[in-house]
Amino acid sequence: MHNRRMAFGQNAEGQNSEYEVLEEIGRGSFGCVRKVMHIPTNKLMVRKEIKYGHMNSKERQQLIAECSILSQLKHENIVEFYNWDSNKDVLYLYMEYCSSGDLSQMISYYKKERKYIPEKLIWSIMAQILTALYRCHYGTDLIPLETIYDKAKPPIKGNNLVIHRDLKPGNIFLSTRKWEGDEYSPKKMDYNKVLVKLGDFGLAKSLESSIEFATTYVGTPYYMSPEVLMDQPYSPLSDIWSFGCVIYEMCSLRPPFQAKTYMELQRRIKTARFERIPDYYSHELQSVIKSCIDINLGTRPSAYTLLQDIQLRIARKSLQLERFEDNLFDYERELINIGNILEQQAGEYEMEMANIRSQYRKEFEAAVEQRVREIMSGKKISGAPELMNGRKQLHRPDYHWRMRERER
């Protein structure tokens, strides 16, 4: 168990008291999702509950092992998995909170507005999803492009490969730097600069076999690949099929396969026949989608192959440049802050100097006044000899007499 849990302990309900539990965000097939505040860091997070009381110890172990893998999956396009915790019946997963909605909300927004999603934005979202899938399918990060003509070397697979298994618009979260405010509102959202984050990774592997999943899963498998429908094992290429369906939905504002009944949907998926995307979009986009929604696993492209596409290389390069520009803005803001602090300090220093100067002037004037008073009263001059010097002689009572004597 996570060691912090030992330090913070559990409250009366057996929940981790390191977190303040806030409102419910929604409910999925496995349980409730809530916002929580991580008290030590003051960070807003999401807590996903998974009821696992019905699982045997082997299934539980597999679930925990998957959590462990997911907690190592750090990528800017993947929802960060921070920690997990459990009591007897419930597993709590603590994840990054994505406040700007998801792709399904974005698609609904464009559908309602009767507008197409701009093609440039679609390529940008595609590049980000594929970069995240590359990280999962190969266990290693994609090397940034020097130029759009760079050809990436074929990837060498690392350890802990992850297949998403449930790629769909509702699991693709969005955030944007221009986003103002805390809660999702499509009107306020600037979709031209979105950061994509894939959520709900991999855990389906442990959960789908459980009785709980079989009885509670209510989702429609619009994005499920034909091989998975035919009970063949999942492979990274199953994610690519789902990816193709998601991109199709972004263009057509509806999934490629729809049907009134589950059986009919299965039949349509297995034929892999779907309508062309609207003419508004380029031939290149249509052909990438077509290559992904391909029954034949031998010709369906991998994340690596797709990322070689010139449009995707352009999208990646422009994302890299945007990130670079954002970093420059951050750097500029930091410099402005430092400049402001220095200006404030210079002001304070000036004020201090003025105070010292005025204090010194006052003391000096007081000393001079005192001296003048002493002179006027004919007193013997005392102190501040540097002020008197030659003039000191003039005030000796016998001075004039002595001078006159000398002249004679």
Ligand X SMILES: Nc1ncnc2c1ncn2[C@@H]1O[C@H](COP(=O)(O)OP(=O)(O)OP(=O)(O)O)[C@@H](O)[C@H]1O
Choose one: 108-116, 170-178, 222-230, 287-295; the region binding ligand X (CB under 6 A). 170-178
Give whichever of 172 and 277 is closer to ligand X, judged by the CB atom.
172
Pairing between β-strand 19-27 and β-strand 32-38 as defined by DSSP bridges: antiparallel
Residue 97 binds ligand X, judged by CB under 6 A: yes
Give whichever of 138 and 222 is closer to ligand X, judged by the CB atom.
222
Pairing between β-strand 172-176 and β-strand 90-96 as defined by DSSP bridges: unpaired
Query: Does 112 show up as a binding residue in the annotation?
Result: no
Q: How far is the CB of 215 from ligand X (least distance, A)?
A: 13
Residue 102 binds ligand X, judged by CB under 6 A: yes
Tokens 């130029």, residue located: 147
Choose one: 53-61, 96-104, 122-130, 350-358; the region binding ligand X (CB under 6 A). 96-104
The burial of 217, by beta-carbon neighbours within 10 Å (0-12 exposed, 13-18 middle, 19 or more buried), is given as middle
Measured from the Cβ of residue 1, the count of other Cβ atoms closer than 10 Å reads 11
Find the length of the chain.
Answer: 408
Choose one: 1-9, 21-29, 114-122, 380-388; the region binding ligand X (CB under 6 A). 21-29
- What residues between 72 and 91 interact with ligand X by CB under 6 A? 79
Q: Of these, 29, 176, 282, 291, which contacts ligand X (CB under 6 A)? A: 29
Site size for ligand X (CB under 6 A): 22
Rg (Cα) of the chain, in Å, rounded? 37
CB 288 within 8 A of CB 248: no
Q: How far is the CB of 78 from ligand X (least distance, A)?
A: 11
Report the C-alpha gap between 336 and 326 in whole angstroms. 15
CB 151 within 8 A of CB 308: yes
Q: Of these, 9, 13, 23, 26, which contacts ligand X (CB under 6 A)? A: 26
Q: Of these, 2, 5, 8, 33, which contacts ligand X (CB under 6 A)? A: 33
Closest CA to 45 of 64, 26, 20, 66: 20
Q: How far is the CB of 31 from ligand X (least distance, A)?
A: 7
Q: How far is the CB of 79 from ligand X (least distance, A)?
A: 5
Give whichever of 46 and 303 is closer to ligand X, judged by the CB atom.
46
Residue 243 binds ligand X, judged by CB under 6 A: no
Report the C-alpha gap between 366 and 369 in whole angstroms. 5
Task: Please list the residues that pair with 102 across neighbouring strands.
Answer: 173
| Alpha-helix residue ranges (DSSP H) falling in 176-309 | 204-207, 211-216, 226-229, 236-252, 262-271, 283-292, 303-307
- What residues between 253 and 292 interact with ligand X by CB under 6 A? none
Give whichever of 83 and 302 is closer to ligand X, judged by the CB atom.
83
Helical (H) or strand (E) element with 60 = helix 57-71
Report the C-alpha gap between 126 and 406 in whole angstroms. 110
Alpha carbon 266 to its chain's center: 37
166 carries an active-site annotation = yes
Choose one: 92-100, 181-189, 261-269, 332-340; the region binding ligand X (CB under 6 A). 92-100
Give whichever of 82 and 116 is closer to ligand X, judged by the CB atom.
82
Report the C-alpha gap between 24 and 31 in whole angstroms. 11
Site map 182..211 versus ligand X, x via CB under 6 A: -----------------xx-----------
Pairing between β-strand 81-86 and β-strand 90-96 as defined by DSSP bridges: antiparallel
Give whichever of 183 and 279 is closer to ligand X, judged by the CB atom.
183
Residue 95 binds ligand X, judged by CB under 6 A: yes
Q: Which of 166, 200, 239, 294 is catalytic?
A: 166
CA angle 203/206/211 to nearest 5° reads: 120
Q: Which residues does the annotation place in the binding site? A: 48
Contact residues for ligand X (CB under 6 A)? 25-30, 33, 46, 48, 79, 95-98, 102, 166, 170-171, 173, 199-200, 219
Question: Would you please indicate which residues are annotated as catalytic (active-site) residues?
Answer: 166
